[in-house]
Amino acid sequence: MFASLRNTIPRQFSRAYSTGAPAGGKNGNGVLWASLATGAVLVGAYYYTRSKEGQDSPLTGASNGPVTKALDPKKFVAFKLMESTPINHDTAHFRFALEPNQELGLDITSCFVVKAKIGDDEKPTIRPYTPVSPQDARGYFDLVIKRYPNGKMSSHIHSLVPGDVLEIKGPIPKYPYKAGALKEVGMIAGGSGITPMLQLIQHVLEDPKDNTKLTLVFANRSEDDIILRSKLDTFAKEHPDQFKVHYVVDKASSKDWNGDVGYVTKELVKKYMPAANAEGVLVGVCGPPPMMSLISGPKAPDYSQGEVSGILKELGYTSQQVFKF
């Protein structure tokens, strides 16, 4: 099941401002890591499939009791690593265990924070992460994490082996998304900044009542650095009238590359993002600090949204139309 991930989640993005070509029904089936056609996924000894009503139906091995939420917003909870799968030299997929009839309990457009005491540090290190598993996945949740050379937490998580635990608290709310409240959402992501965007894309496309149009510009250093490309392409193919994805890379490594090459420029944003003078639009941005500074401006020192600056301000977007993940 994870073999395909090794081919679809390669090296992470390192330069912040580079950018691909458009990719192109809505169905009620859940899209999980395995079996996009049936919505079914094998989780340990538990096999689930998504019903027409959008709920996971246990086929075998699962309890028929009530679904519980695993996260606690007031305290850290320890979650056990089930397995880790290397994707490339610095990125890996991590699956953590939940109870068979338990969901993580993460709201859409929210994240959680992880805590670990690393080395001889007196204080624990705390970092935010966004899982890539579906919101209603039961029995597990997934993280895709790049190990940075000086990243304490990313290096710590990469050092975990099955049976080790990670302390997590959440959810930490971000944008209060409501189905139908917006007509169009534009997203600009760089490298691992794709994870909150994927969370929103997956949620919207799985809701047959949500017709919000979605457009993603995904910037990476090279074609091989495009994380979750096959998943995004599948979404675009299955929902051509609702979701478009455009990839951008610093340098094209293949003569067959038909996406954009270079930086995420004002012209590129104007070309792909919903217009600032349109009604019911939002542009979400997530990526490394240099990219954020260029596109939207950074968050404020207190981690609030802060003022909009950069390319989006130049194009006339207001603070009500921009969200920095």
Does the annotation list 127 as a binding residue?
yes
Report how far apart, in Å, the C-alpha atoms of 316 and of each of 238, 275, 299, 321, 323 are. Answer: 32, 9, 18, 10, 14
Rounded mean pLDDT of 49-70? Answer: 55
Q: Is 303 annotated as a binding residue?
A: no
152 annotated as belonging to a binding site for a ligand:
yes
Q: Strand order of the sheet with strand 140-146? A: 125-129, 110-116, 165-173, 77-86, 91-97, 140-146
Q: What pLDDT does 147 receive?
A: 87
pLDDT tens digits along 16-41: 333 333 333 444 333 333 333 333 33
- The answer to whether 144 is a known ligand-binding residue is yes
**Rounded CA gap, 181 and 3, in Å?**
38
Q: Are 86 and 6 in contact (CB under 8 A)?
A: yes
Q: Is 154 annotated as a binding residue?
A: yes
Residue 111: predicted pLDDT: 94
Q: Is 69 annotated as contributing to ligand binding?
A: no
* pTM across the whole model: 0.76
SS (H, E, C) 47-59: EEEECCCCCEEEE
How far is the C-alpha of 249 from the C-alpha of 257, rounded, in Å?
10
Confidence at residue 63, expressed as pLDDT on a 0 to 100 scale: 55
Residue 175 labeled ligand binder? no
Token representation of residue 157: 């998580």
Q: Convert the pLDDT of each residue in 272-315 to its tens digit.
A: 999 999 999 999 999 999 999 999 999 999 989 999 999 999 99
